[in-house]
Structure 1
């Protein structure tokens, strides 16, 4: 990380105040109850000051939601340790992601689905403020962790399976895009109470479809 000047340090400090205040509201009242006024009151600044550092409320909620990913990242290395090959690791990465995302669907929706009107580099911006959140991430997972686009994250996770011949390169995009769409659709349905699933059921159903995608695309391709 490049050395920061005093202006950058001050900006990061101010953003941290507002992010921490937003996280408190999310934990105490829920993400749907976050308002600029509440954040400003907790942080001890006026509402107008927040807009010097965040474009809008969804931008601030996005940064605050990022703090909740740490639980997933802390669990991930151990979760995928049992994988016998890269393709199994890809599936386990999805399974771990599903378990944490369906436990906090509003938060993961804010990070990976909601329309923010901001650029992908915001993941990098967040980890400039909170570098300790990823300090224990294995180097092999870091490119995925730093990518904000969910489809690109999955494609990165699938790359080693391509290199080692577990799937064909021409199948990788199709497998990953379908897996991403399954998760996005299931999370949206679950979040909006369009399916009568428990958290355990929705994880199980989502992973059933993702496994079928991975296995069936390869199977039918190699038969052709």
Structure 2
């Protein structure tokens, strides 16, 4: 069997196991996924599954990616609302928060769980098999999505805000890291029920914290040009 045929077979087996994992997640939730359940549903043994996936965390990561389709489909529409890079990025954050707090277990697996390897490598492997997931997305957004490390993808995108004169180069990495930590902190708080907030309230508060963080870094003379309008009102999140 040639190399091409082996790759085709491997991709086919990948799909069998990810289809099975998707069914298990839909039936029992991602926290109840096990290799054995997935292998049984796919009609193979656990040892066969381990021939294609290093460990359960990797299989859960790949399966979780299957549940981000709605987010990826809505992202371009959200970003179109902005007239400049800062506004577009804030609308992207609103879209991300909407979907991540709707499915917190899914997004925590992708962006927070310990995968024991480089997540960028896993993401590239996923899109090698599921190229169609990116079809229809603008090339600029595809480039961002392919950068799995959240703060890296943020820094890549908001670089445009430097060129537009909204923020300084020295603040790019800081903003990217701080906004990621805001989301992780809010997600952790929400998932562990440390506050009595609905998912909409948690998403709204996160967006507003991100907005405030970014606003403080924007050149004061350019702030009036920002038109981002979060759909979550202050009344929805209790204000600050």
When normalised by structure 1's length, the TM-score is: 0.94
* SS across alignment from 1:67: helix
Instruction: Decide whether the 8 Å contact of 1:25 with 1:34 is kept in 2.
Output: yes
Superposition pairs of residues 169-184 of structure 1, within 5 angstroms: 169-184=169-184
Q: Distance in 1 between matches of 2:98 and 2:64?
A: 16
Structure 2 vs 1, CA of residues 159 and 73 (structure 1 numbering), >3 Å: closer, same or farther? same
**Match of residue 142 from structure 2:** 142
2:75 match = 76
Q: 2: distance between equivalents of 1:128 and 1:165? A: 37
Mapped partners of 1:13, 1:37: distance in 2: 19
TM-score where L is the length of structure 2: 0.88
What residue number does 1:117 align with?
Answer: 116
Residue in 2 aligned with 1:198?
198
- Identify the residue that residue 94 of structure 1 maps to in structure 2: 93
Q: Greater shift after overlay, 107-116 or 171-180?
A: 171-180
Q: What's 2:106 paired with?
A: 107
2:52 counterpart SS class: coil
Deviations along 1:21-43, one digit per CA (max 9) or x if unpaired, are 11111111101111111101110
Q: For 2:161 and 2:89, how far apart are their aligned partners in 1?
A: 8
Equivalent positions of 1:4-15 (< 5 A) are: 5-15=4-14
Change (3 A) 1:152 1:126: same
Structure 1 distance, partners of 2:155, 2:135, is 23
The match for 1:185 is: 185
Counterparts of 1:5 and 1:198 in 2: how far apart (Å)?
49
In structure 1, how many angstroms separate the alpha carbons of the residues matched to 2:23 and 2:177? 34
Once residues 193 and 36 of structure 2 are traced to their aligned partners in structure 1, the CA distance between those partners, rounded to angstroms, is: 29
Number of residue pairs the alignment of both structures matches: 219
> Which digits, 9 at most, give the CA deviation of each residue in 1:20-79, with x for residues without a partner?
111111111101111111101110101100111111111100000011111101001111
Could you tell me how far apart the structure 2 residues matched to 1:147 and 1:174 are? 18
Residue pair 2:151, 2:177 contacting (<8 A) in 1 also: yes
